[in-house]
Structure 1
Amino acid sequence: MALASQSSALSISFRGAQPLHSKPKFLYSVPSISISKSNPPLKGLVSLPYRHHKPLRIFASVSVSNPEVRTGPEDLVASILSKVTQTDGGVLLTTEEHEEVAAVAEELQKYCVNEPVKCPLIFGEWDVVYCSIPTSPGGGYRSALGRLFFKTKEMIQAIEGPDTVLNKVSIRAFGFLDGEVSLKGTLKALDDKWIQVVFEPPELRIGPILEFRYGGESEVKLQITYIDDKIRLGKGSRGSLFVFQRRS
């Protein structure tokens, strides 16, 4: 729902009015006045006749400043999704477009529920539709070099009660081999907004045969800045911005 607020300035000047030396009885009727607000100001002329005196003319000037539009959370959610959809998780966006996403996310923070870590909406499956730092959700596979050999098909995060997090990045290796990188982690609430997830070593599967674990444990900290039944916003400890969209 969009709410708009606007301010109007009304100035009135009197011309041709005669000074009153006595107290005559005024007999006049006020006509209906319709003033159309526009920019630049519109001037309206109204004559009020009365006995024994010349008409009193009122010049009314109405000016309206540009309305300041305040957008509600539903419109902001639709806006941010329209900016990040079909952008390869944000990789295809320009610097200016990343700034636009960040601005909408900042507005949405104002509508975040209290103690989002305790909100039951956190559970479920989410598509990672945007990240301001490409390598944050997919590691080296999402780097500029990695994207030359591994095409990202989808990035999914599933949060299961009471404290399990499953991250999965589906890829196509070398243009013809389907693969998947998955991580399983344990979630811990640090306060009412911040969570910490400690992940086990990642598991890589390429094709129907090749499957192995590599590396060691990893840890991430994420602040939940907004959540509803459609999207969830997160901000990493290093400043990365995430947009998660609930899977239908």
Structure 2
Amino acid sequence: MQTDRGVLLTRDEHKSVAEVVQELQRFCVDEPVKCPLIFGEWDVVYCSNPTSPGGGYRSAFGRLFFKTNEMIQVVEAPDIVRNRVSFSLFGFLDGEVSLKGKLNVLDEKWIQVVFEPPELKVGGLDFQYGGESEVKLEITYIDEKIRLGKGSRGSLFVFQRRKP
């Protein structure tokens, strides 16, 4: 089923996802922020709030112009996080927005990532815009294939490990 990372789901379908997430959380390892499985390349396959990953590019208005191709998060040891959203503008001009950040462990489940200003690449153009940003995420479940998280504003995230 194509959900555009949760955007196309109905309210009831979002509720079903939340129920599955809640069930999986019961099996989370102790101190998931220290689990080596956190490192690697992850596809963002679901977010309960469509604009949390990708910002305005993922809003209802933004999606009229920007078709999301990939949303990837790379977590590199010991403390680097890279987020990348690749898109097609007007259906023919490829581009991407990327962020590089420093991961800080807040406690056994919560992390904070402070990102540098975003970098936008469209066609031959490449520039940074905006300022630093910061997110906090609770890691609520992790295994070899799936990572679940909850943002500080309550958004649920589902990440799927990318195949090597």
Could you say which TM-score interval applies, normalised by the shorter chain?
A: over 0.9
Which structure: larger Rg?
Answer: 1
Partner of 2:5, secondary structure, is helix
Spell out, residue by residue over 1:116-151, the C-alpha distance to the aligned partner (whole angstroms, 9 max, x if none): 000000000000000000111100000000000000
Distance 1:206 1:228 in 2: 35
CA distance in 2, matches of 1:205, 1:86: 26
Equivalent residue number for residue 112 of structure 1: 28
Question: Deviation per CA, 1:87-126, whole angstroms, max 9, x where unpaired?
Answer: 1000110000000000000001100000000000000000
CA shift digits 1:170-195 (9 cap, x unpaired):
00011110000000000000000000
Aligned mates of 1:86, 1:127 — CA distance in 2: 14
Local SS of the residue matching 1:93 = coil
1:201 counterpart residue number: 117
Q: What number of residue pairs does the alignment pair up?
A: 163
Amino acid at match of 2:45: V
Question: Residue type matched to 1:223 in 2?
Answer: E
Give the TM-score normalised by the residue count of structure 2: 0.98
Is residue 48 of structure 2 the alignment partner of residue 132 of structure 1?
yes
Deviations 1:28-80 (A, max 9, x none): xxxxxxxxxxxxxxxxxxxxxxxxxxxxxxxxxxxxxxxxxxxxxxxxxxxxx
Aligned twin of 1:52:
none
State the partner residue of 1:98: 14
Partner-residue secondary structure (3-state), 1:223: strand
TM-score (ref. length: structure 1): 0.65
Q: Determine which of 122, 126, 132 is the counterpart of 1:217.
A: 132
> Which blocks of at least 5 consecutive residues in structure 1 are unaligned?
1-84
1:187 counterpart SS class: strand
Tell me the equivalent position of 2:82.
166
Aligned to 2:154: 239
Other-structure match for 1:89 = 5
Q: CA deviation at 1:86?
A: 2.4
Root mean square deviation, CA, Å: 0.6
**Distance in 2 between the 1:235 and 1:92 partners?**
20
Structure 2 CA distance, aligned partners of 1:205 and 1:90?
25
* Distance in 2, Cα, partners of 1:120 & 1:216: 30
Amino acid across the alignment from 1:145 = F
> Which of 98, 123, 126 pairs up with 2:39?
123
- Structure 1 stretches of 4+ moved >6 Å: none
Q: Which has the higher contact order (CA 8 A, sep 6+)?
A: 2
Amino acid at match of 1:99: K
Q: Matched residues in 2 for 1:211 and 1:195: separation?
A: 30
Distance in 2 (CA, whole Å) between partners of 1:185 and 1:86 is 30
